[in-house]
Amino acid sequence: RLPTIYAITPTYSRPVQKAELTRLANTFRQVAQLHWILVEDRATRSELVSSFLARAGLPNTHLHVPTPRRYKRPWLPRATEQRNAGLAWLRQRHQHQSAQPGVLFFADDDNTYSLELFQEMRTTRKVSVWPVGLVGGRRYERPLVKNGKVVGWYTGWREDRPFAIDMAGFAVSLQVILSNPKAVFKRRGSQPGMQESDFLKQITTVDELEPKANNCTKVLVWHTRTEKVNLANEPKYHMDTVNIEV
Ligand code: UDP
Ligand code: MN
């Protein structure tokens, strides 16, 4: 049986949310043995996401945790609490039985994922890495590989990062998550761009990383970002004869 891929997706309410989730679900539905852990940045589960998931046709777990208001700042990292909630659920679920083979991947709701990416990450033994497109002020960032080992990073931004890699650029085996029960994303002292390094430092070393995507020479995931929607002509009060979820 294939190892299960657990995709942890933090998500928050905004005009494009349902469009993003629809695109993501359309990708995930084509991936065998994938379990979607969708974590809403809210105090309660929203009706929109609940009914969306009910019709998504995907094995899923619907979690929620609000980001404390003091952390909602442009210069602070996003979705720390949500990713940790996903990690906690995974550990809780597997605490009794010895873990079935599984692979964890952090899948933001606005990125673009090729199907090949999931084939690559499926064989992760501990921690695997690959290039990410459209990130760090460059066309791509990638781990530099020599003789099958990661020896450095091709990046144009903060080259001092111990793991100069985006959240979409790595996967972790379930076994590693379970045998490092304290590994979490940290708020304290963590700047944007350092979340990945802070987390990976707790569970692996650069020397141990498994390069995927043909020794990290292929871009299979893109750090796309959706343009902010123009709602300039949206009426102040509800004017339509029907109430439509968008
Ligand atoms: N996110 C969230 N709460 C927020 C902002 C973002 O849950 O207040 C989620 C968002 O839906 C996405 C992930 O966190 O899945 C990363 O956010 P974003 O895509 O805005 O970050 P960037 O593209 O700048 O890395
Ligand atoms: Mn994003």
Ligand 1: residue whose CA is nearest its atom 5: 78
- The answer to whether the complex's ipTM is over 0.95 is yes
Q: What's the CA-to-centroid distance between 77 and ligand 1, angstroms?
A: 9
The distance from CA 184 to its chain's CA centroid, rounded to whole angstroms, is 14
Quote the DSSP letter at residue 2: P
Q: What pLDDT sits at residue 188?
A: 75
The string of DSSP codes covering 56-102 is T-S-EEEEE-PPPGGG--TTSPSSHHHHHHHHHHHHHHTSSSPPPSE
Q: What pLDDT sits at residue 140?
A: 98
Q: What pLDDT sits at residue 192?
A: 73
Q: What pLDDT sits at residue 189?
A: 67
Record the pTM: 0.97
Q: What's the CA-to-centroid distance between 78 and ligand 1, angstroms?
A: 6
Q: What's the CA-to-centroid distance between 84 and ligand 1, angstroms?
A: 14
Our mutation pick for probing the ligand 1 site, out of 78, 80, 112, 165, counting the most ligand atoms within 8 A of Cβ, is: 78
Tell me, using a 6 A CB cutoff, whether residue 83 lines ligand 1: no
177, containing H or E segment = helix 174-179
Whether 234 sits among the annotated catalytic residues: the reply is no
Q: What pLDDT sits at residue 209?
A: 98
Q: What pLDDT sits at residue 96?
A: 80
Among candidate residues 196, 210, 234, 245, the one labeled active-site is 196
Nearest ligand to the C-alpha atom of residue 7: 1
Arithmetic mean of pLDDT over the chain: 96
Q: With a cut of 50, which residues of the chain have pLDDT below it?
A: none
Nearest ligand to the C-alpha atom of residue 166: 1
β-pairing verdict for 149-154 and 170-173: unpaired
